[in-house]
């Protein structure tokens, strides 16, 4: 992360555990509990879906139907919290990670669903690391699309293309260093995302919010 701002790990849980997480996600999806991702109105077209075509549900991993997702969350926490003390000054980057969001389970239901280029945390809301776990078996990027393209700041015209492959996890800085887009997906595409908070930035964001309200 310190070198590139982006990090990919394959075979994160192993096939069997990855499958149990996928089963839970498929069950959740079949329960019909997913909602359209939080939408931002596109002023030009007035069309919401052109910005973001995923469907999502937030879980904390303690729900009866989400125990395996809960285990995944614990494993990701261990990686992030472990690396939190990795560098010389006892921090990850310049961050002191002290919490995270719930897990966002996302489905792009094919049919060209996508997410236009955006930054997860453009305005210092506290989120510093984005972690995305992918669940897509036999994903053929040419046929199925759904590529995650990151445009890392300072890489001039170079990009990082991440295929959303089964049991792959991706970490990147959530701020303006990493604008990214999900290219149109033509097959159902699943992922689970966690955002980790920097204690100081989160506190500062809380103060700003209080002053504003
Ligand atoms: C987001 O939810 O902000 C994304 O950009 C999704 C990325 C992905 O699923 O590859």
First CA to last CA across the chain, in angstroms?
Answer: 36
* Ligand 1 atom having least distance to the Cα of 54: 2
In which band, very low, low, confident or very high, does the pLDDT at 40 lie, cut at 50, 70 and 90? Answer: low
* Ligand 1 atom having least distance to the Cα of 148: 10
User: How long is the chain?
Assistant: 213
The mean pLDDT value of the chain amounts to 91
Is there an atom of ligand 1 within 6 Å of 191 CB? yes
Q: Which of 46-55, 94-103, 114-123 has the lowest mean pLDDT?
A: 46-55
Whole-model pTM: value is 0.93
- Please indicate whether residue 19 or residue 208 has the higher confidence score (pLDDT): 19
User: Which residues of 1-158 form beta strands (DSSP E)?
Assistant: 6-9, 35-36, 55-59, 97-100, 103-109, 113-118, 127-134, 148-150
Q: How far is the CA of 104 from the centre of ligand 1 (A)?
A: 10
């Amino acid at each position: 992360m310190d070198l590139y701002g982006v990090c990919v790990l394959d075979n994160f849980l192993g096939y069997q555990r990855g499958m149990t997480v996928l089963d839970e996600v498929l069950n959740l999806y079949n329960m019909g509990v997913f909602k359209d991702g939080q939408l931002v109105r596109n002023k030009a077209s007035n069309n919401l879906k052109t910005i973001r075509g995923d469907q999502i549900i937030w879980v904390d991993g303690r729900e009866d139907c989400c125990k395996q997702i809960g285990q995944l969350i614990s494993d990701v926490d261990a990686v992030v919290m472990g690396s939190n003390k990795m560098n010389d000054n006892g921090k990850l980057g310049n961050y002191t990670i002290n919490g995270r969001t719930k897990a966002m389970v996302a489905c792009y239901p094919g049919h060209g669903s996508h997410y236009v280029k955006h930054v997860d945390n453009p305005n210092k809301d506290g989120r510093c690391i984005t972690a995305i776990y992918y669940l897509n078996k036999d994903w053929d990027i040419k046929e199925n699309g759904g590529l995650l393209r990151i445009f890392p700041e300072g890489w001039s015209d170079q990009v990082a293309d991440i295929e959303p492959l089964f049991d792959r996890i991706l970490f990147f800085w959530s701020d303006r260093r990493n604008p990214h887009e999900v290219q149109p997906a033509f097959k159902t595409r699943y992922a689970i995302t966690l955002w980790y908070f920097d204690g100081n930035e989160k506190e500062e964001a809380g103060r700003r919010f209080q002053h504003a309200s």
